[in-house]
């Protein structure tokens, strides 16, 4: 059963934290407004900064079911909204034709275009759900402008028009989160209907909090060193910089292999947790691995209790 509407930004931030998502002030504010104003949220930013995870965390913190539409090039209405179950319709037509044959086409047509012949897809599923849901429209920038135009009715009025049935209005108000990796500019019409949130890679201090939350057994100094190295890797010109999820995976990997420090050997042994392209591996090995030779700590903020000079 979904929780009642939140009464403050602090309440939303606390709720997200309880389900493992450390929201900053802008993310907490937009999440609060999405629920109180009933408006969709467009979350943009680089891949791997927690855009999709925000929608999942909202689902967990509010007790709402998550309905996800994963976007891709060529996605159309039939895969996003609904389509008719043609096989079932054909069977009904054949059954009626095998009867007395007196039924008119209009009667048959009205019979086969009922809700029992409708195959609901994610957008229709979210609109028609009896209990309020969180609707995640993931990577909307992979679709085209025609698909965006189709979305406008859903995002503006939370309804879907079906020519054969009429207008299907939302039974409950979904929380809608759209994510974009900013690979193309979205239309002004879409942006106008949404609240906006830009998520970027977190600071060293914030990412350290996230890593410690998900890998609390990791030594604090080691966690700090891990985060500094991740930030060093992200500064390189990579095809795919390490995501926050990969920072967490690396922390858990270090625990599993029993590492008590990140020297060059440990880094090269576990580098594939962070870096997923061959050309990136070569670049990171060249630029980062050599800096980890010996006991030196990467530049930046020192681990607690350490000093330079």
Residue 157: its pLDDT value, please? Answer: 83
What lies within 8 Å, CB to CB, of 228 at 6+ separation is 204, 297, 298, 300, 301
Given a cut of 70, whether residue 300 has pLDDT beyond it is no
Q: Are residues 184 and 140 in contact, defined by beta-carbon separation less than 8 angstroms?
A: no
Average pLDDT over residues 138-167: 85
Q: Provide, rounded to the nearest whole percent, the portion of the chain with pLDDT above 90.
A: 56
Q: What rounded mean pLDDT belongs to the chain?
A: 85
What confidence score (pLDDT) does residue 178 get? 97
Q: What pLDDT band is residue 28 in, cutting at 50, 70 and 90?
A: very high
Q: How far apart are CA 17 and CA 10, in angstroms?
A: 10
At CB < 8 A and 24+ separation, what contacts does 72-76 make?
72/139, 72/142, 72/143, 73/142, 73/143, 73/144, 75/142, 75/143, 75/147, 76/147
Residue 72 scores a pLDDT above 50: yes
Closest CA to 33 of 10, 9, 13: 9
**pLDDT confidence of 108, banded at 50, 70, 90?**
low
* pLDDT tens for each residue of 114-151: 667 777 789 888 888 889 999 999 999 999 988 988 88
* Tokens encoding 227: 């985060």
Position 161 confidence tier, pLDDT thresholds 50, 70, 90: confident
Predicted confidence band of residue 307 (pLDDT cuts 50, 70, 90): very low
DSSP state string for 162-186: ETTTEEEE-SS--EEEEEE--SSPP
DSSP code, position 272? G
Residue 53 to residue 244: CA distance in whole angstroms = 10
Cβ atoms of 180 and 140 within 8 Å: the answer is yes
Chain length of the chain: 309
Would you say residue 304 has pLDDT above 70?
no
DSSP-based three-state secondary structure for 109: helix
Residue in this structure with the two tokens 């990136």, named with its chain if needed = 280
How far, in Å, CA of 9 to CA of 140, rounded?
A: 27
Q: Is the pLDDT of residue 68 over 80?
A: yes
| pLDDT average, residue stretch 170-184 | 91
Q: Is the pTM of this model over 0.85?
A: no
Residues 215-261: tens digit of each pLDDT: 999 999 999 999 999 999 999 999 999 999 999 999 999 999 999 99
> In the structure encoding, which two tokens stand for residue 302, read together?
């020192």
Homologous superfamily of domain range 9-73+129-161+168-198: P-loop containing nucleotide triphosphate hydrolases (3.40.50.300)
217 vs 245: CA distance, rounded Å: 17
Q: Is residue 296 pLDDT above 60, yes or no?
A: no
Distance CA 290, CA 296 (A): 11
The pLDDT of residue 124 is 86
Distance CA 282, CA 279 (A): 5
**Does the structure show a pLDDT above 70 at 101?**
no
Catalogue the E-assigned strands of the chain.
Answer: 41-44, 65-70, 82-84, 118-120, 133-138, 159-162, 166-169, 175-180, 195-198
The least confident of 42-46, 113-117, 150-154 is 113-117
Distance CA 32, CA 11 (A): 9
Residue 12 burial (C-beta neighbours within 10 Å; 0-12, 13-18, 19+): buried
Mean pLDDT of 61-79: 92
Q: What confidence tens digit (pLDDT) does each residue in 4-25 have? A: 789 999 999 999 999 999 999 9
């Amino acid at each position: 059963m979904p929780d009642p509407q939140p009464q403050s930004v602090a309440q939303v931030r606390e709720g997200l934290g309880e389900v493992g998502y450390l929201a900053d002030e802008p993310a907490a504010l937009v999440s609060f407004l999405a629920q109180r104003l009933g408006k969709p949220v467009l979350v943009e930013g680089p891949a791997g900064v927690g855009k999709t995870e925000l929608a999942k965390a909202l689902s967990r913190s509010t007790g709402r079911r998550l309905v996800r539409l994963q976007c891709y090039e060529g996605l159309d209405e039939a895969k996003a909204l609904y389509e008719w179950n043609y096989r079932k319709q054909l069977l009904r037509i054949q059954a009626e034709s095998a009867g007395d044959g007196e039924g008119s086409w209009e009667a048959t047509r009205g019979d086969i275009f009922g809700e029992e012949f409708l195959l609901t897809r994610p957008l229709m599923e979210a609109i028609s759900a009896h209990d309020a849901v969180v609707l995640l429209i993931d990577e909307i920038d992979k679709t085209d402008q025609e698909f965006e135009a189709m979305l406008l009715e859903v995002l503006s009025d939370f309804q879907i028009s079906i020519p054969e049935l009429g207008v299907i209005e939302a039974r409950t108000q979904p929380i809608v989160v759209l994510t974009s990796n900013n690979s193309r500019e979205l239309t002004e019409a879409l942006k106008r209907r949404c609240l906006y949130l830009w998520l970027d890679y977190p600071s060293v201090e914030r990412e350290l909090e996230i890593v410690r939350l998900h890998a609390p057994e990791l030594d604090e100094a080691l966690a700090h060193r891990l985060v500094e190295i991740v930030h060093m890797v992200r500064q390189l010109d990579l095809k795919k910089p390490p995501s926050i999820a990969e920072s967490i995976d690396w922390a858990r990997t270090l625990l599993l292999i029993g590492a008590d420090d990140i020297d060059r050997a440990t880094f090269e042994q576990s580098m594939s947790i962070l870096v997923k392209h061959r050309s990136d591996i070569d670049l990171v090995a060249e630029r980062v691995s050599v800096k980890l030779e010996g006991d030196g700590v990467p530049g930046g903020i020192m681990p607690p209790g350490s000093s330079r000079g």
